[in-house]
Amino acid sequence: MSEATLSADVAIVGGGIMGSALAFWITRLDPRCVVVVVERDPSYARASSALSAAGIRQQYTTEINVRISQASIAFLRDAQRHLDRSAASLGLRESGYLYLATAAGAERLQARWRRQRALGVEVARLERADLAARFPWLAANDLALGTLGLRGEGWFDGPGLLAAFASQARAQGARYLRGEAVGFSGSGPHLDGIRLADGRIVRSAAIVNAAGPWARTVARWAGIELPVSARRRTVYVIDCPSRLAGLPLLIDPSGFWIRPEGAYYIAGYPPTPDEDGAPLEPDYAGFESVLWPALAERIPAFESARLRGAWAGYYEMNDFDQNGLLGTLPDHPRLWFINGFSGHGLQQAPVVARGLAERILFGRYRTLDLSALDVTRWADDRPLQEMNVI
Ligand SMILES: Cc1cc2nc3c(=O)[nH]c(=O)nc-3n(C[C@H](O)[C@H](O)[C@H](O)COP(=O)(O)OP(=O)(O)OC[C@H]3O[C@@H](n4cnc5c(N)ncnc54)[C@H](O)[C@@H]3O)c2cc1C
Residues 312, 172, single domain; the answer is no
Residue having the nearest C-alpha atom to atom 3 of ligand 1: 52
What's the burial of 311, exposed, middle or buried (CB within 10 Å: 0-12/13-18/19+)? middle
143, 243: one domain = yes
Q: Is residue 88 part of a domain?
A: no
Cβ-proximal residues to 382 (8 Å cutoff; 6+ apart), any chain: none
The pLDDT tens digits of the residues spanning 11-69 come to: 999 999 999 999 999 999 999 999 999 999 999 999 999 999 999 999 999 999 999 99
Evaluate whether 314 touches 232 at the Cβ level (below 8 Å).
yes
* Residue 213, ligand 1, Cβ within 6 A: yes
Does some domain include residue 12? yes
Residue 92 lies in a domain: no
pLDDT of residue 31: 97
Tell me, yes or no, whether 59 and 161 share the same domain.
yes
Cα–ligand 1 centroid distance for 155 (angstroms): 17
Find out whether the peptide bond into 42 is cis, omega within 30 degrees of 0.
Answer: no
User: Do 208 and 326 have their domain in common?
Assistant: yes
Residues 163 and 219 in one domain: yes
Structural domain range at position 254: 97-153+229-318
Quote the CA–CA distance of 353 and 373 in Å, as a whole number: 12
Q: Is the CB of 152 under 6 A from ligand 1?
A: no
Query: Helix-strand-coil percent breakdown of the chain, rounded to 5?
Result: 35, 25, 40
pLDDT in tens, the chain (390 residues): 555 899 999 999 999 999 999 999 999 999 999 999 999 999 999 999 999 999 999 999 999 999 999 999 999 999 988 887 666 679 999 999 999 999 999 999 999 999 999 999 999 999 999 999 999 999 999 999 999 999 999 999 999 999 999 999 999 999 999 999 999 999 999 999 999 999 999 999 999 999 999 999 999 999 999 999 999 999 999 999 888 999 999 999 999 999 999 999 999 999 999 999 999 999 999 999 999 999 999 999 999 999 999 999 999 999 999 999 999 999 999 999 999 999 999 999 999 999 999 999 999 999 999 999 999 999 999 999 878 877
Sort 28 into a burial class: Cβ within 10 Å, 0-12 / 13-18 / 19+: middle
**In testing the pocket of ligand 1, which one of 40, 41, 48 has its CB within 8 Å of the most ligand atoms?**
48
Residues 296, 185: one domain? no
How many distinct structural domains can be found in the chain? 2
Q: Is any atom of ligand 1 closer than 6 Å to the C-beta of 47?
A: yes
Q: Are 341 and 354 contained in the same domain?
A: yes
Query: What is this structure's pTM?
Result: 0.97
Final residue before a domain boundary, out of 268, 284, 318: 318
> Among 270, 301, 318, where does a domain finish?
318
- Domain final residue, candidates 318, 340, 360: 318
Same structural domain, 308 and 192: no
In a domain, 87, yes or no: no
- Look at residue 386 and tell me if it is in a domain: no
Residue 16 Cα, ligand 1 centroid: separation in angstroms?
6
* 306 in the same domain as 163: no
Ligand 1 closest atom vs CA 338: 26
Torsion of Cα atoms, 245 then 246 then 247 then 248, to 10°: 170
Q: Which residues, including other chains, have CB under 8 Å from residue 216's CB and lie 6 or more apart?
A: 225, 226, 227, 228, 229
Q: Is the CB of 340 under 6 A from ligand 1?
A: no
User: Same domain, yes or no, for 139 and 236?
Assistant: yes
Residue 291, in any domain of the structure: yes
- CATH assignment at residue 166: 3.50.50.60
Is 213 part of any domain? yes
User: 242 C-alpha to center of ligand 1: Å?
Assistant: 33
Angle at 50 between CA 45 and CA 53, to 5 degrees: 135
Distance 138 CA to ligand 1 centre (A): 33
Assigned domain for 217 exists: yes
Testing ligand 1's pocket by substitution, the residue of 43, 52, 161, 336 carrying the most ligand atoms inside 8 A of its CB is: 52
Report the CATH number that the domain containing residue 121 is assigned in CATH. 3.30.9.10
84-116 residue pLDDT tens: 766 667 999 999 999 999 999 999 999 999 999
Are 235 and 362 found together in one domain? no
Do 207 and 239 belong to one domain? no
